[in-house]
Amino acid sequence: MRFLCLHGSGTNSKIFETQTAAIRYSLGDGHTYEFVEGTMPAAAAPEIKELVSPTDELFSYINLENMESCVSALANLDSYIATEGPFDAVLAFSQGAMIAASYITWKLRQNPALERKSPTFKCAVFFSAWSAYDPDALWKGKLRVLTPSVDGEIIHIPTAHIWGRNDKVSIKASDVSGLCAAGTRQVHVHEGGHEVPGARMSHAVKSSVRIIRRVISSAGEINRDA
């Protein structure tokens, strides 16, 4: 399976490669990963400040105070996938998961019949997702957070949701999981914080890999039935 990988705010692709190394190793061969760098310079994310040097270049995909950057992020991702794709799945952390969930929603609204028959991504893996935003509102210059209570289950591909019990913004990840179809949704809540489970969190890595494999399997079953 070919994964498109989107990092969190205030990090970069190389850091995300390191953050996901244990999980990617445990998933085994048969998968490839393409890491896409943000374009907006950013200060270091709090969870990695001690891991980076002053000379490291760190990036974000968007600035939520700049609506043009939000619209551009979706459009740029769409162009990248059209040029470099197709991709089977998206694997994303924090702000990257926000972009991915918002993008999936946007594509579904553009062409519901096509996305249900032949989705842009067959499945998605979200680590500590930082909410998802209504793409229609973004195009109108407004921010509206998508929530299960208002919007219901709007993402219908198989999804894996992984976040930390001690993440101060875990409600955001929980809300993104609630936007995804319950029948093909897998959730693991580990004992960490706002992070991707790494080598020091062996139990969380095993549990995360277990649900990611279930999601990949579900995506394969749906693809065969299509």
Residue of 7, 161, 190, 194 marked catalytic: 194
Is residue 94 annotated as a catalytic residue, yes or no? yes
Is residue 13 annotated as a catalytic residue, yes or no? no
Can you point out the beta strands (E) in 94-213? Answer: 123-127, 159-164, 185-190
Is residue 167 annotated as a catalytic residue, yes or no? yes
Tokens representing residue 176 in the block: 């993104």
Tokens representing residue 25 in the block: 């190793």
Inter-CA distances, 38 with 33, 146, 151, Å: 16, 23, 28
Residue of 60, 94, 128, 177 marked catalytic: 94
Residue 48, classed as helix, strand or coil, is helix
Residue of 167, 175, 190, 218 marked catalytic: 167
Residue 77, classed as helix, strand or coil, is helix
CB distance 59 to 42 below 8 Å:
yes
| Catalytic residue ranges | 94, 167, 194
